[in-house]
Amino acid sequence: MNRFRNLFIYIAACMTVMLLSSVSYGADGSSLKPPPGARVAIVMFEDMECPNCALNYPVVQDAAKRHGIPVVLHDFPLQMHPWSFDAAVFARYFDTKSEKLGDDFRGYIFKYQAQITKQNLRDYATKFGNDNNAPLPFAVDPEGKLKDKINADRNLGTQIGLQHTPTIFVVGNGGAATPAVEVDDPSKLDDIITDMQKKAGPAPKAAPKKGTAKKSAR
């Protein structure tokens, strides 16, 4: 009897572990904030080899333009994707030329994602650079500083419990009144942004301009 009792307890314990491991917990975006001067922002953790990221990248960019808010992009290249980390390095390189160029490169890679391999990725990056008057140097990241930024982003994603890519948040600057909202359904992104803007309150008075500010720091 004890043998069957112990077997029953063991099976029950295994089933409990399986059930708990199948529960999906959302990431904790409470540490994420808009860039300085912004009331609301979209934060997106992306993998440039991820098909869902390719689908959602233009959705996020278009929503940000409609609402006049910044997008803060974080790299989260997955180990299963052989060229996503290298693509992030190229994107970071183009960021150093201009934020728009970096964003355009991401859109370009997402557009041709299905045709890209680890072997031809640099060919695509080279073509993009030449077409945009920003030719690639032989060594894109000779000191490893761009890789360090990508690893810092990936570590941040791990710390907040990222479960998948893309992971998209709408964040506000109102403290407890504007908790970060993870966007599970991109079709609801506009509604979430509008609600966050209401909670964040009126925009601060604009200070005298001393040049153009970047919409997000990377």
CATH code of the domain containing 137? 3.40.30.10
Q: Is residue 25 one of the residues assigned to a domain?
A: no
Rounded to two decimals, what is the model's pTM? 0.81
CA distances from 128 to 93, 101, 141, 192 (A): 12, 10, 17, 34
Q: Is residue 29 one of the residues assigned to a domain?
A: no
Distance CA 122, CA 86 (A): 9
Q: Is residue 159 one of the residues assigned to a domain?
A: yes
Q: Is residue 177 one of the residues assigned to a domain?
A: yes
Distance CA 157, CA 162 (A): 5
Distance CA 27, CA 158 (A): 9
Calculate mean pLDDT across residues 69-90.
98
Which is higher by pLDDT, 12 or 133? 133
* Structural domain boundaries, residue 93: 40-200
CA dihedral 168, 61, 171, 189 (to 10 degrees): -70
Q: Is residue 148 one of the residues assigned to a domain?
A: yes
Give CA 114 to chain center in angstroms: 20
Calculate mean pLDDT across residues 202-218.
46
Q: Is residue 215 one of the residues assigned to a domain?
A: no
How many domains is the chain partitioned into structurally? Answer: 1
Q: Is residue 21 one of the residues assigned to a domain?
A: no
Calculate mean pLDDT across residues 114-123.
98
Distance CA 144, CA 29 (A): 28
Q: Is residue 83 one of the residues assigned to a domain?
A: yes
Q: How confident is the model at residue 203 (pLDDT cuts 50, 70, 90)?
A: low
pLDDT one-digit tens code per residue, 144-183: 999 999 999 999 999 999 999 999 999 999 888 899 999 9
